[in-house]
A and B are shown apart, each in its own frame.
Chain A
């Protein structure tokens, strides 16, 4: 039986990808951020997951405003790297896990989550930056990946509570897959940041710290935070944090925070990396 063993929360700032791709991770500006990623990378290398589910948002790369899927799952054999407007990142193609992905799609839809299914799509920095952050710069990614996209580009994104419930449904779906697979799930985006308007550059360390604390201790109530609260307190793009609730909902009620890293600034953003492990089987 497949099982989700751990969750990773990770910001996916495009500039972090650029810093990696251009070999700038050791500069005074970037070094403190990248140094903080090392323990998580070591933890993941030791864990050796068989598959990762990466919950992220597409940034007008695979999907435009033409069609806006609220929740989408990628079932392809592989996902090419998107050109987001400055050429594709020089990272390996992302290999999928069609068998588990299709099982998830079927299970989720029959469990009343109306997923859009993608047989073909490029993936952008929303997915590849968290992979780079946690896996480094390998020739091939160390595990297959199931992309799960959440719309946060056209308001309104799905509610945090809905995202949490989707996570719970993912947990159930994974547990009903009959191969013995160790699965990790990433929730990406955030933390506090605002990329637009006169208020651009907003950072709220207090909000972010409370969010990270409650992610472990009080996740259900945290997931009920209204959208306006994110935008007011964590910046208009801070609303990306709803995607972390999918990750948290997919874990057990009782988790242990194995590692936390928080750094300001990564370009315009408060960047975080948190690792949560299931503590018990409930």
Chain B
């Protein structure tokens, strides 16, 4: 029997479980390589060439090059890893969180200052009323 994934009905959330781990490994290992300053420099200088060194799927490659943060999560990206691309770009966690939730940076920052996103309406995909 496979594990019950009772978290699948949480909206807007990509749990890095075995399903994603099976497809995301190489994408995340590319991100891990950016812990080294020399690799950050190489990636910045020639992103396409640097990515050739990793076994990314075409869609993973596209998402990285386009900085499609949400898209990366959908093809196996793990946020603790993909954030390293953002750090390399000089972005912060809050910048990326705003982009993933699809609102301007200022709107997201204001939401956080006002206490963050409410859990109400954000608990279940099919129950926006609670």
The answer for the CA separation of A194 and B97 in the assembled complex, in Å, is 9
Contacts A59-B80, A60-B81, A268-B93; is A199 near B29 (CB within 8 Å)?
A: no
Contacts of A268 in B (CB 8 A): 93-94, 97, 112, 116
Contact with A along B74-118 (1 / 0, CB 8 A): 000011110110011000111001101110000010011101111
Tell me the chain A residues, 156-208 only, with Cβ under 8 Å from chain B: 156, 192, 194-205, 207
Closest A residue to B109 by beta carbon equals A265
Contacts of A202 in B (CB 8 A): 116-119, 122
Contacts of A197 in B (CB 8 A): 12-14, 70, 73, 100-101
Interface size on B, residues (CB 8 A): 53
Q: Which of A84, A192, A198 contacts B84 (CB 8 A)?
A: A84
Contacts of A85 in B (CB 8 A): 34-35, 40, 83-84, 87-88
Contacts A65-B28, A201-B108; is A156 near B117 (CB within 8 Å)?
A: no
Contacts of B28 in A (CB 8 A): 60, 64-65
Contacts of B54 in A (CB 8 A): none
Q: Which of B14, B80, B111 contacts A153 (CB 8 A)?
A: B80
Contacts of B115 in A (CB 8 A): 203, 205, 264-265
Interface size on A, residues (CB 8 A): 44
Q: How far is the CB of B54 from chain A (nearest CB, A)?
A: 13
The answer for the CA separation of A15 and B113 in the assembled complex, in Å, is 15
Contacts of A14 in B (CB 8 A): 93
Contact with B along A48-90 (1 / 0, CB 8 A): 0000000000011100111000000000000000111111000
Please name 18 further chain A to chain B contacts, defined as beta carbons within 8 Å, in addition to the given A60-B31, A232-B124, sorted by A numbering: A15-B92, A64-B28, A64-B32, A65-B25, A65-B32, A153-B80, A192-B116, A197-B100, A198-B101, A199-B12, A200-B12, A200-B101, A202-B122, A203-B116, A232-B7, A232-B10, A232-B123, A236-B15
Which residues of A line the B interface, CB within 8 A?
A: 14-15, 59-61, 64-66, 82-87, 153-156, 192, 194-205, 207, 227-228, 231-233, 236-237, 264-265, 267-268, 270
12 contacts between A and B (CB under 8 A): A14-B93, A64-B29, A65-B28, A65-B32, A153-B16, A154-B21, A197-B73, A200-B101, A228-B6, A231-B10, A232-B123, A265-B112
